[in-house]
Each structure stands twice: as structure tokens, then as C-alpha cells.
Amino acid sequence: MKPKALLGSITGALLVGLALSALRAADQPVAAIGQPAPDFSLKDENGTSVKLADYKGKIIVLEWTNPDCPFVQRHYQWHTMTNLASEYKDKGVVWLAINSNGGDNSKADSEWARQNHLAYPVLDDSEYHVAGAYQAKSTPDMFIINKDGTLAYEGGIDNDPDGDNAHRVNYVQKALDEILAGKSVSTPVTKSYGCGVHYK
């Protein structure tokens, strides 16, 4: 390659590299299926620090939630998340709820945890850092991390945004059953539905 062309190629590559790194938030890993799930440390509704790394080697479900969202409210009336968390806790699955709404969520989260007798913490991500790393978009939005720390599922809790689907499939339950049976997740990505994940 001629020197000018080589220089041009190097410059081009550098510019593309710079542009690509600018697209990602500085120092923020972005979750992807099959890739290591981004680590985080957040405070729960009691102010206790919870780190993802505390659960290394476990299957972990992350549930993006918002007590004010009608979709979340419907699922909690139906015990969708609480039943699933309880049933799979016995099979070693860890459940963490995350609230990425702006402002001070601690009171709302405590009240929510109390009302719903939650056996899992509600983590405060009001700065939106963890939602950004996982690209969580809605509430509810669900992520499953496999025992090896890689992301195995991301998307909706189910295929039923209206709450009236006669052929409802709970994608989280389906994925958990496959992971526990040592199979690969047949539906690793679905579209989530619900309210926007971060209101200031």
C-alpha cells in the first residue's frame, strides 16, 4: 500500500475507533446476550448496599420496576413477579428489583416492598447508571444472568401487554426452566412493554 493510502487508512481507523468509543457512555459496559453482565452496586430500600458480584455463581433475575406504572401494578396485583421469585428462590435463583426513576425513590420503594411483602430488595438506580449499562427501557423490563455471569435473557416479562392474551407466555419462566435444565435459552431476546424506565 502506498504511504499516503496507508496514512489515510490509519487515520480512518482512528477516527472510526474514536467515533465508536464516543457512542458508548464513558467507562460504561453495555449488556449483550452471551457477554458478561455489567457489575453494579446499588442501595436497597433500607439503605443496604447490594452488589451484583455478591451473587457470583448464581442465576440472577433483574426486574426493572416502578410502583407508579400501571403495567407493574397489574403484575403485582396478579403476583406475577412475586410468585415467580418465590418459586424459583427454592431452585437457587436470586431476584433483584431495580427502580431507575429520577428523584428520591426510597420512601416509595419501602412502601412498595412493605405493601407487596417483597422477599427481594428494591434497588435505587435513580441516577440511571445501571439502566444505562443494561439498556433497560421500560418497566417492567427483565434480565436474566446465568451462573457464569453472562447475560442469558433480556426483554419483557411476557407477550401480554394488554393483560388479555389467551396464549400468554412468561418468557422469564421459560428461560429460567431452560437454564435450570442445562439447555440454552430458546428465546433470549424479546421486546419489553410498559412505562418509560426513567422519569426525572
Partner 1 sequence: MSVRLLIWIGLIAAVLVPQLGFAASKPELVKAQLLADTSNVKSGTPFTIGVLLTITPGWHIYWINPGDSGLATSVSFKVPKGFEAGPVRFPVPQRFDQPGNVVNFGYEEEVLLLATVTPPADLPVGQSLEFAADVKFLCCNQVCIRGSTKSRLTFETSHDAKPANEQLFQRWERQVPLPKPPEVIQSHLDLQSDGRGEIRVEWAKSPTNVQLFPGPSEALMVSEVSIKTTGNASTIRFVIHRLAGLELRQSLYPMVVGYADAEGLRRGLEMNMPVSAITPASHQ
In the complex, which residues of this chain contact partner 1 (CB under 8 A)?
Answer: 32-34, 68-71, 100, 102, 128, 131-132, 135-139, 159, 161-162, 186-200
Residue 200 per-residue DSSP state: -
Which residues make beta-bridge pairs with 63?
A: 97, 142
| Residue with the three cell numbers 422469564 | 172
Query: Is the Cβ of residue 138 or residue 170 nearer to partner 1 in the bound state?
Result: 138
Rounded to the nearest whole angstrom, what is the least distance from the CB of residue 137 to partner 1 in the complex? 4
> Which residue, 59 or 190, is less far from partner 1 as judged by CB?
190
Q: Output the smallest distance, CB 97 to partner 1, in A.
A: 17
Q: Output 49 or 187, the one with its CB closest to partner 1.
A: 187
Q: Tell me the three cell numbers of residue 107.
A: 420512601
User: Do residues 153 and 142 make contact, with C-beta atoms less than 8 angstroms apart?
Assistant: yes
Cell of 170: 412468561
Whether 174 and 153 have beta carbons less than 8 Å apart is answered as no
Cell of 128: 440511571
| Nearest approach, Cβ of residue 86 and partner 1 (Å) | 26
Encoded amino acid at 141, one letter? D
Judged by CB, which is closer to partner 1: 55, or 137?
Answer: 137
Residues in the chain: 200
Least distance (Å) between residue 90 CB and partner 1:
26
